[in-house]
């Protein structure tokens, strides 16, 4: 076997050699000519021997000024000394490097940033001769990256939904965290979708809308709509869109804000106003209850509504009125409800009667508080909502609403029905008082046809000569003490001197009169009210002899009349004017302002933090606080200024004959400060509330009461949205003026 032939070892690979500037070909020159960067070479001591800039390069130094210097010899702002030492160590080790970053200040004072790459150069013998490489101005790229980072950080901390849409392919190109959380999708899921997949506008309409935005049409930048969440529910939003130029054309930036709570509040406020209108328009209690039940059912999507009237004598709450969605099955349910009655604590209605608090049952078949009835199973009833109807703090009835759906509790509705229940209760009490008065008057007329409280006669000088009293008549003075005196000589509280003079003139004319009313003080300090009727007496010769007539005690009727007036026109809790009396009073004030060319201001006041006190300490503490607020408002205003309570924690102040905005601001600041003072006697401890106050002026903002109230309400909501505890003047429908705050 012959010797194996040995293979020669491969020759060592020579390090690559980069051609110098003098050997650069036409292609190299052309590439450099198109570049924003530069080409460079250095010797073994790292001093520049060649620097060639592209025509688009923004230089911070003259090219020739860098020759003979190392990179760290040239003034720079970055890196620091340690960074330069590390870079120098890499060069001394003859290592290739990529994207080494440094920064220098140019002649214009602006900082420019560079990314430099290089590799070592060796001669034919393998000796290190220096470096060659390229550099690039990355200032704009860095700035764009930083701007993108800031934009991403800004939209991710925003509570609003922010999405970016490519108007060409109608796909999301970016979304913020708020959008992902609100819609229930991940970022990756949304970026695979388009706005037409989740928003309430079709793909065609969106494409048309984006086209108009890009064309500069700003008339449709904002609109209300809804997103469909991943779970199928809807998110109601107010959306604002802009077309923003980008490198590839345009991108649509859409910012959406969840307005579900606002819409819910508006709907509940509308419900309160609808209930008030139903009560105002109704001729009787039955008609009013049916209208109110229907309004609640239609606004809140309940299928049945029933009213159970509390019968204190029998100790039960009985079915009284109803409304339901038309249908044979629904009507059958109502018919089977007619004989229903609940005792205190029995069933949902009985528990509401007993506690005075609203209750919600998502499914009555699974709620131990509900009393099951066979016909509820047959009717497919599930959801139930029950709340009390109150008058002067006492439950006088219960309203119950049902649906075939299983419905989760609605806390906003539970809060709103407190005011609605009180509205209905006040109305029913007033109607009951009116019915009682009408019945009493009819009974009284029937009785007075047979007898009177007292009979009387006078002489020609109108002095009493005879008085005969009924057995139940209550006298204000010893019975015989009036004989020999005229009616106006006996002490009285009403009428005034002019009224008595007019009555005396009637008697002197010797004509009959009917139902002359007067009042006298009783021994116990109360006031008695009386009506008298009389006719003249003449002798056989025609001579006037005096009068004879009858009289009756109408104290109960007058007090009932005054009570009805108070129920109709005064807030029973605070004694302030109520919503009913505010309308006519404001109308008269506006008419006076127009007649005498005076200014008028309306202040709409809403308490901040009242609900927390009411929830924490109960309605009695809340009522005491409202009374205290009413007292402070009255004490802080002129006696001629009108103060009214609309209901809940809302008040209205009407200032007449004001000079200018400075005067109104002074009053507003005073009211905000007064309301913000601590309340020590409300809940056994110091309590605090503040007020948001909206102001509209006549003639500056409007010339009629309704618009003035609307503008004051708008300004109040702006004050509340601007941080509360302050006031704000109406400044147009956008109300975008700077909020006023007195620092209370």
DSSP H stretches of helix in 128-234: 139-157, 177-183, 187-191, 195-198, 203-214
Higher pLDDT, 416 or 57: 416
Give the pLDDT mean for 238-258.
Answer: 85
Write out pLDDT tens, residues 666-682: 999 999 999 999 988 66
Whether residue 394 has pLDDT greater than 70: yes
171 and 131 in a single domain? The answer is: no
> Is 215 within the bounds of a domain?
yes
Q: Do 398 and 346 sit in the same domain of this protein?
A: yes
Q: What is the pLDDT of residue 713?
A: 94
Give mean pLDDT, residues 202-209: 90
| Residue 291 maps to a domain | yes
What digits encode the pLDDT tens for the residues 436-445?
A: 877 766 664 5
Is the pLDDT assigned to residue 449 strictly greater than 60?
no
Residue written as token pair 């007539």: 549
Which pLDDT value is given to residue 244?
84
Q: Please report the pLDDT score of residue 7 as a whole number.
A: 38
Q: Which domain holds residue 179?
A: 144-258
Compute the residue count for the chain.
Answer: 744
* Rama region for 324: left / alpha / beta (φ>0; ψ in -120 to 50; rest): beta
pLDDT of residue 735: 42
Q: How far is it, in rounded angstroms, from Cα 462 to Cα 506?
A: 11
- Among 436, 471, 499, which residue terminates a domain? 436
Dihedral-angle region of residue 180 (phi above 0 means left; psi in -120 to 50 means alpha; beta otherwise): alpha
User: Is residue 444 situated within a structural domain?
Assistant: no
> How many independent structural domains does the chain possess?
5
Greater model confidence, 440 or 619: 619
Q: Are 131 and 94 contacting, i.e. CB atoms less than 8 angstroms apart?
A: no
Nearest to 488 by CA among 506, 474, 472, 468: 506
* Residue predicted with more confidence, 372 or 38: 38
Average pLDDT, the chain: 84
**Do 723 and 576 belong to one domain?**
yes
Which of helix, strand or coil describes residue 79? coil
Nearest CA to 687 out of 740, 613, 743 is that of 613
Handedness of CA 696, 698, 702, 706 (dihedral sign): positive
pLDDT at residue number 739: 42
Structural domain ending residue among the three candidates 137, 166, 196: 137
Cis peptide before 495 (omega within 30 of 0): yes
Domain of 393, CATH number, reads 3.30.450.40
Backbone dihedral angles phi then psi of residue 707, each to the nearest 5 degrees: -70, -40
Q: Is residue 100 part of a domain?
A: yes
Output DSSP code: residue 199: B
Q: CATH number for the domain including 673? A: 3.30.70.270
Residue 328 makes CB contacts below 8 A (sequence gap 6+) with none
In a domain, 441, yes or no: no
Reduced to 3 states (helix: H, G, I; strand: E, B; else coil), residue 378 is: helix
pLDDT at 352: 92
Number of H helices, E strands in the chain: 20, 26
The pLDDT value recorded for residue 3 is 41
Same-domain pairing of 168 and 215: yes
Over the range 108-129, which residues count as b (16 or more CB within 10 Å of their CB) and which as e? eeeebbbbbebebbeeeeeeeb
For residues 66 and 196, membership in a common domain is answered with no
Q: What is the mean pLDDT of the segment spanning 80-101?
A: 94
411-448 helix and 260-281 helix, angle to the nearest 10 degrees: 10
**Residue at 655 is within a domain:** yes
User: Residues 305, 252: one domain?
Assistant: no
Overall average pLDDT of the 253-262 stretch: 88
Q: How much of the chain, in percent, has pLDDT values that exceed 70?
A: 86
Burial (CB count within 10 angstroms: exposed 0-12, middle 13-18, buried 19+), residue 370: buried
The residue-averaged pLDDT of 608-630 equals 88
Residues 290 and 420 in one domain: yes
121 and 250 both lie in a single domain:
no
**Strand, helix or coil for residue 376:** helix
Assign residue 515 the CATH number of its domain. Answer: 3.30.450.20
Is 70 exceeded by the pLDDT of residue 214? yes
Supply 302's token pair: 């309940």
Task: Return d(Cα 340, Cα 376) in angstroms, integer.
Answer: 12
697 and 595 within one domain:
yes
DSSP helix/strand/coil, 66: helix
Q: Whole-model pTM?
A: 0.42
In this prediction, residue 363 carries a pLDDT of 86
Domain co-membership, 714 together with 582: yes
* pLDDT tier at 194, thresholds 50, 70, 90: very high
CB-based burial of residue 161 (10 Å sphere; 0-12 exposed, 13-18 middle, 19+ buried)? buried
Last residue of a domain, one of 95, 116, 137: 137
pLDDT tens per residue, range 522-537: 888 888 888 899 999 9
- Residue 4, domain member (yes or no): no
**468: pLDDT strictly greater than 50:** yes
Distance between CA atoms of residues 630 and 642, nearest Å: 12
Report pLDDT for 443.
Answer: 61
- Edge-to-edge strand order for the sheet containing 650-658? 642-647, 650-658, 599-608, 690-698, 726-729
Burial track 399-421 (b if 16+ CB lie within 10 A, e otherwise)? bbbbbeeebeeeeebeebbbbbb
The reply to whether 401 falls in a domain is yes
Q: CA–CA separation, 379 vs 382, rounded Å?
A: 9
Tell me: pLDDT of 27 over 80. no
Residues 182 and 75 in one domain: no
Q: Please tell me whether residues 199 and 348 are part of one structural domain.
A: no
């Amino acid at each position: 076997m012959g010797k194996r032939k040995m293979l020669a070892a491969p020759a060592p690979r020579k390090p690559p050699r980069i051609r110098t500037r003098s050997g650069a070909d036409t292609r190299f020159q052309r590439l450099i000519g198109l570049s924003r960067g530069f080409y460079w070479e250095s010797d073994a001591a790292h001093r520049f021997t060649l620097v060639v800039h592209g025509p688009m390069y923004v230089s911070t130094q003259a090219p020739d000024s860098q020759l003979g210097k190392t990179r760290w010899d040239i003034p720079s702002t970055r890196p620091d000394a340690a960074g330069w030492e590390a870079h120098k160590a890499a060069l001394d080790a003859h290592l290739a490097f990529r994207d080494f970053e440094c920064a220098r200040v140019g002649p214009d004072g602006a900082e420019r940033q560079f990314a430099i790459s290089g590799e070592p150069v060796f001669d034919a013998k393998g000796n290190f001769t220096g470096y060659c490489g390229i550099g690039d101005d990355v200032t704009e790229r860095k700035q764009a990256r930083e701007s993108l980072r800031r934009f991403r950080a800004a939209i991710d901390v925003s509570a609003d939904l922010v999405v970016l849409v490519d108007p060409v392919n109608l796909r999301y190109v970016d979304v913020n965290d708020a959008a992902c959380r609100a819609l229930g999708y991940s970022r990756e899921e949304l970026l695979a979708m388009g706005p037409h997949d989740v928003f309430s506008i079709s793909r065609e309409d969106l494409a048309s809308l984006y086209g108009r935005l890009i064309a500069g049409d700003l008339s449709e930048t904002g609109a209300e709509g809804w997103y469909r969440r991943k779970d199928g529910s809807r998110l109601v939003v107010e959306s604002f869109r802009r077309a923003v130029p980008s490198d590839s054309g345009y991108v649509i930036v859409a910012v959406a804000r969840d307005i579900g709570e606002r819409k819910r509040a508006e709907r509940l406020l509308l419900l309160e106003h609808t209930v008030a209108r139903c009560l105002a328009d109704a001729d009787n209690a039955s008609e009013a209850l049916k209208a109110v039940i229907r309004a609640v059912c239609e606004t809140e999507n309940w299928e049945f509504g029933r009213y159970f009237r509390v019968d204190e004598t029998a100790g039960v709450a009985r079915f009284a009125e109803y409304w339901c969605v038309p249908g044979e099955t629904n009507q059958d349910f109502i018919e089977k409800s007619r004989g229903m009655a609940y005792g205190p604590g029995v069933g949902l209605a009985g528990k509401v009667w007993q506690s005075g608090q609203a209750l919600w049952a998502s499914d009555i078949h699974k709620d131990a508080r509900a009393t099951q009835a066979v016909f509820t199973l047959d009717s497919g009833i599930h959801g139930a909502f029950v709340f009390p109807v109150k008058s002067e703090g006492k439950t006088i009835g219960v309203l119950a609403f049902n649906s075939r759906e299983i419905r989760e509790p609605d806390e906003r509705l539970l809060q709103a029905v407190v005011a609605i229940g009180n509205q209905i209760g006040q109305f029913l009490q007033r109607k009951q008082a009116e019915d009682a008065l009408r019945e009493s008057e009819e009974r009284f007329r029937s009785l007075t046809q047979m007898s009177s409280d007292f009979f009387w006669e006078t002489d020609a000088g109108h002095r009493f000569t005879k008085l005969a009293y009924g057995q139940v008549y209550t006298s204000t003075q010893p019975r015989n003490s009036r004989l020999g005196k005229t009616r106006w000589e006996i002490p009285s509280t009403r009428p005034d001197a002019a009224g008595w003079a007019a009555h005396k003139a009637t008697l002197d004319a010797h004509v009959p009169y009917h139902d002359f009313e007067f009042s006298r003080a009783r021994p116990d300090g109360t006031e008695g009210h009386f009506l008298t009727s009389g006719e003249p007496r003449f002798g056989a010769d025609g001579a006037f002899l005096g009068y004879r007539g009858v009289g009756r005690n109408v104290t109960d009727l007058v007090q009932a009349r005054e009570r009805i007036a108070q129920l109709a026109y005064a807030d029973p809790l605070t004694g302030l004017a109520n919503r009913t009396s505010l309308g006519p009073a404001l109308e008269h004030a506006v008419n006076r302002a127009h007649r005498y060319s005076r200014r008028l201001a309306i202040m709409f006041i809403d308490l901040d933090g009242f609900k927390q006190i009411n929830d924490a300490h109960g309605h009695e503490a809340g009522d005491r606080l409202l009374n205290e607020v009413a007292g402070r408002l009255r004490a802080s205003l002129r006696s001629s200024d009108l103060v009214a309570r609309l209901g809940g924690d809302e008040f209205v102040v009407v200032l007449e004959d004001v000079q200018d905005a400075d005067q109104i601001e002074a009053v507003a600041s005073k009211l905000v400060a007064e309301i913000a003072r601590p309340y020590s006697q409300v809940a056994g401890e110091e309590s605090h509330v503040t007020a948001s106050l909206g102001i509209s002026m006549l003639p500056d903002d409007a010339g009629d009461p309704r618009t003035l109230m609307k503008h004051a309400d708008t300004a109040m909501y702006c004050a509340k949205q601007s941080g509360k505890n302050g006031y704000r003047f109406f400044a147009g429908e956008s109300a975008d003026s700077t909020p006023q705050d007195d620092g209370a």
